[in-house]
A and B are shown apart, each in its own frame.
Chain A
C-alpha cells in the first residue's frame, strides 16, 4: 500500500514503566501501553466504542516535563534527547487520554496498584458473591481483576443494595442488575453500533440500574454482542447460559457460514458438541461483532436428525452399509450413464476444496450440467448479507458459474424429458431448499445425496452419505468482498460422517480416475495449480484473518461506518 498523499503522522516519545517508546500522536495511553505489552486493566473501555471513562479501572500514574518557573532555566535533555519527567501526584485514566511528547506513564507503581485496589473494592461492595452459579465465571473480568488487583476480603459489613434479578430484557438475553458494574458498554453498543438505543441507566446513584425502556425490548439482530462485551455476568445469553462451563470449551477459529459475509468466529465445543459461536475480531470483515442469526444457527449440528452412516436403498428401504460399499454402489450406477446423463448439483455451502473436487467429478462423469442452489434472504444494513450462501464467490470461481442457479432450470427440464437420468446432490436439500418435487426426483434412475441431516431429498435418493457440516471440516471459502478465509475443524461429525471432498475423491477413484489426493492440503495444491487466483497460496498461508483474493465492489455497511468513526477519532477501532 502506498502512503502517498497521507499526512505524515507525528511520532511522540513516551516513557512507559521506565522504557522509552515511540507512538503516533493521538494514540490513547491504554493502547500505547498494550502495544508494548503492558496490559492496563479496564472495564468500560472498548476500542470499538466511545470512551466515557466511567469505570476508573485504568487509572495510571502520569508525568510530563517540569515547566520552568519564570527566570528559571528550562530542564536539560539527557543524552537520548529526553526531558526529565515530573510525576503528577494524582492518577489519570489511560483510556480517554492520549499520549503527549515526553510523557511518562507508570502502570506498575504503588499509586497505580492502590488505585486498582480501591476501584476493585468499590465495584465489589454491592456485587453478589454468586460466582459458583454465575455463567460468566471463568471469563469474568471482575473475577480476574479481583484476583490480580483486589483485596481478597471485604471490609463492607452493611447490607448490599438489592436490585432486579433475572430480568427478561429481550428474546435472547437475560439481565442480572446486581451483577452489573455500570460500565455502560452494552448501552453504547446498542446506541452507537446497533442503532437501537433501548438500554439506559435509571435511578442513577446508589441504586443505578441498567434497564430496557418500559414496553421496549433488546431484540435487534445484534443483541447478543452485548453479552460478549459485558465484562461481568450481568447480561447472559438465554441460548448458552447454564449449558457448559466456559473453561471446558475447546475454542477453534473458523468462519460463520450463515451468509456471504463470512464473519470470523470462535467455535466453542466440548467432546464433539458445539455450545456456542462467538465473533472473532477481523477489521476487514466483521469488526468485533456478528449477528444473532448466524450466532445461533448451529443447533442442527447436535441434532437427533444427523445422518451417521452411509445408506444404500435395498429391497426394504435404506440400509446401512460400509463406506466402500456405498461408494462402489454409487460408482456402479453412475458409471453406467453416458455423457450428460448425469447432473451435479453442488452447494454454495461447500468449501473451495470441496467444489474443486466436485468440478473434477463433473469432468470424470463427463457432464456439463453443474450448478449450485442459490439462497437469499433479506440483508440488513450491518453485517447480514442477502446472499445466504457462504461461498457463492468460490462456486463461481471454482465451478466457473456465471450466475449460480441458472442451470437448475435446464437440469429440471432435462430430468422431465428423461435426458438426465442421474443426480449427484452435494449438501443440498433439493425438495425443501430448491423447489424440486419428490415426484420428479422419483423418476430418475439414480440419485447420490450427501447431507448432514435426514431430509426429504434423502428419502428419494439411492445412496445417502453423511456429509460433514461447517464445524466439522477444514477448508477455505471466499466471502462477498472477495476475501479468502479458512474454516477449521472444531468437532468430529457424528458416526461415520465424512467431509465432502473425501467422499468425492473416493467416488472419482471408484469411477476409475486416480488422483493421488490424501490430505486437504493436496486438494488445495492441485486447485492452486489449475485456478490462477489461488496461485502461490496454501491453506496455512490463508492465516486466521484470511487474505484478499478477488476484487469486488461489495461494501460492508457496518465497517464503513466504523471507519468513519475511527477517522474522526471518536473510537480507536
Chain B
C-alpha cells in the first residue's frame, strides 16, 4: 500500500485539528484513507496506527465498530440500499433484489462480518445501510456519493453508471 504524498499531506493537516490528542484524529484519517483506497485494508490500519502513534488494535476497534468503514474492496460503484423502517416498508428488500439481478451480484456470501457483495466484473458492489435520512422518499439508496430517492427501476438507476 502506497500512500501518495498528497494524501499524506492532507492527513497530516487533518491531524493538526486535534492538538490535544492525536488519537482523536482517527476517524478523519480513516475517512481520508477509505476515500482514496475505497476501503480500509490491514495495511491501512497499520499505517493509520503508526501515523497516530497508536497500537494497530486500537484502530481496528474503530474500523470494525462503524459499518461505514469497509474492510474489503468495493466495486467501482458502491451501492448502499437503506433498510431502515420507512424504506423497508417502501420496498428496500425488493430494490436490493432487483439491483443485484441487474448488476449480476450474488449476495449469498454476505454475513454480519462481510456485508458487501461485489459483482463479477467489479463494476458494482452492494450492501444494506441503516437510515440514509430521507424517510419520506423511500426506498432510497446511494451510489458512491450520489443520493437517489424513490428508486423504482434498478436498470434505469444503473444505466447512469454504465459508462
Residues in A lying within 8 Å of B, measured CB to CB: 197-205, 207, 211-216
CB proximity of B101 to chain A, nearest CB, Å: 29
Contact A200 B58 (CB under 8 A): yes
**CB-based contact B112/A207 at 8 Å:** yes
Cβ–Cβ < 8 Å partners of A212 in chain B: 57
| With A202-B61, A203-B65, A204-B61: A213-B112 Cβ-Cβ less than 8 Å | no
Interface check B64, CB cutoff 8 A: yes
Interfacial chain A residues near B64, Cβ < 8 Å = 202-204
Chain B residues contacting A213 (CB-CB under 8 Å) are 55-57, 60
Among all A-B residue pairs, the 10 with the closest Cβ atoms = A200-B57, A202-B64, A213-B57, A197-B55, A204-B65, A200-B61, A203-B64, A213-B56, A202-B60, A201-B61
Contacts of B57 in A (CB 8 A): 197-200, 211-213, 216
Q: Taking the nearest CB of chain B, how far is it from the CB of A190, in angstroms?
A: 9
Chain A residues with Cβ under 8 A from B55's Cβ? 197-198, 200, 213
The smallest C-beta distance from A164 to any residue of chain B, in angstroms, reads: 10
Whether, in the assembled complex, B162 has its beta carbon less than 8 Å from a beta carbon of chain A, the answer is: no
Q: Report if B160 contacts A (CB, 8 A).
A: no
Contacts of B42 in A (CB 8 A): 214-215
Query: Count of B residues near A, CB < 8 Å?
Result: 11
In the assembled complex, the Cα of A211 lies from the Cα of B55 at a distance in Å of 13
Give B119 Cβ to nearest chain A Cβ, in Å: 26
For B60, list chain A residues within 8 Å (CB).
Answer: 200, 202, 213-214
Main secondary structure of the interface of A (DSSP, over half): loop
Residues of B within 8 A of A199 (CB): 57
- Chain B 32-85 interface residues, beta-carbon cutoff 8 Å to A: 42, 55-58, 60-61, 64-65
Determine how close the nearest CB of chain A comes to the CB of B1; give it in whole angstroms.
14
Contact call A216/B61, Cβ cutoff below 8 A: no
Cα distance A204–B64 when bound, in Å? Answer: 7
Least CB distance from B42 to A in Å reads 6
Complex Cα–Cα for A201 and B55 (A): 13
A-B contacts, CB under 8 A, total? 37
Give, as a whole number of angstroms, the nearest-CB distance from B159 to chain A. Answer: 36
Residue of B nearest to A199 (CB): B57
Complex contacts, A207 vs chain B, CB 8 Å: 112-113
Which residues does chain A contribute within 8 Å of B112, judged by CB atoms? Answer: 203, 207
Q: Do A203 and B113 touch (CB < 8 A)? A: yes
Q: In the complex, what residues of B have CB within 8 A of residue A215's CB?
A: 42
The 25 sampled A-B contact pairs (Cβ below 8 Å) are A197-B55, A197-B57, A198-B55, A198-B57, A199-B57, A200-B55, A200-B57, A200-B58, A200-B61, A201-B61, A202-B60, A202-B61, A202-B65, A203-B64, A203-B65, A203-B112, A203-B113, A204-B61, A205-B65, A213-B55, A213-B56, A213-B60, A215-B42, A216-B56, A216-B57
Residues in A with CB closer than 8 Å to B56 are: 213, 216
Given contacts A203-B113, A207-B112, A214-B42, contact A197 B58 (CB under 8 A): yes
CB-defined contacts of B113 to chain A, threshold 8 Å:
203, 207
Chain B residues whose CB sits within 8 angstroms of the CB of A216 once the complex forms: 56-57
**Which residues of A lie under 8 Å from residue B61 when comparing CB positions?**
200-202, 204
Instruction: Known pairs A200-B57, A203-B65; list 6 more (Cβ under 8 Å).
Output: A197-B55, A200-B58, A202-B60, A204-B61, A213-B55, A216-B57
Give A383 to B34 CA distance when docked, in angstroms: 43
Shortest CB-to-CB span from B137 to chain A, Å, is: 28
In the bound assembly, the distance between CA atoms of A213 and B57 in angstroms comes to: 5
CB contacts under 8 Å to A, within B69-106, are: none
- Among A200, A201, A207, max chain B CB count under 10 A is at A200
Shortest CB-to-CB span from A203 to chain B, Å, is 5
B94-126 residues with Cβ-Cβ distance < 8 A to A are 112-113
B66 CB, nearest partner CB in chain A, Å: 9
Closest to A187 in B: B57
Q: Within the complex, what minimum Cβ distance (angstroms) separates B16 from chain A?
A: 25
How many angstroms between the C-alpha atoms of A160 and B140 in the bound complex?
32
Best-buried of A199, A213, A214 by chain B (most CB within 10 Å): A213
Residue among B58, B61, B113 having the largest count of chain A Cβ atoms under 10 Å: B61
Output the nearest chain B residue to A197 by Cβ-Cβ distance: B55
Q: Which residues of B contact A214 (CB under 8 A)?
A: 42, 60
Neighbouring B residues of A205 by C-beta, 8 Å: 65
Residue of B nearest to A161 (CB): B112
What CA separation (Å) do A212 and B58 show in the bound complex?
Answer: 11
Q: When chains A and B are docked, how far (Å) is the Cα of A205 from the Cα of B61?
A: 11
Residue of B nearest to A214 (CB): B42
CB neighbours (8 Å) of B65 from chain A are 202-205
What is the chain A residue whose CB lies nearest that of B55?
Answer: A197
Closest-CB distance, B120 to chain A (whole angstroms): 28
In the complex, what residue of chain A is closest to B65 when comparing beta carbons? A204
A359 CB to closest chain B CB (Å) equals 52
A198, closest chain B residue (CB) = B57
In the bound complex, CA of A321 to CA of B126 (Å): 82
* Cα distance, A213 to B58, chains bound together (Å): 9
A200 CA to B63 CA in the complex, in Å? 12
Q: Which residue of A lies closest to B63 (CB)?
A: A202
The CA of A198 and the CA of B65, in the complex, are separated in Å by 17
Chain A proximity of B27: nearest CB distance (Å): 15
Cβ-closest chain A residue relative to B58: A200
In the bound complex, CA of A198 to CA of B58 (Å): 9
Which residue of B is nearest A203, CB measured? B64
Chain A residues with CB under 8 A of B58: 197, 200
Residue of B nearest to A201 (CB): B61
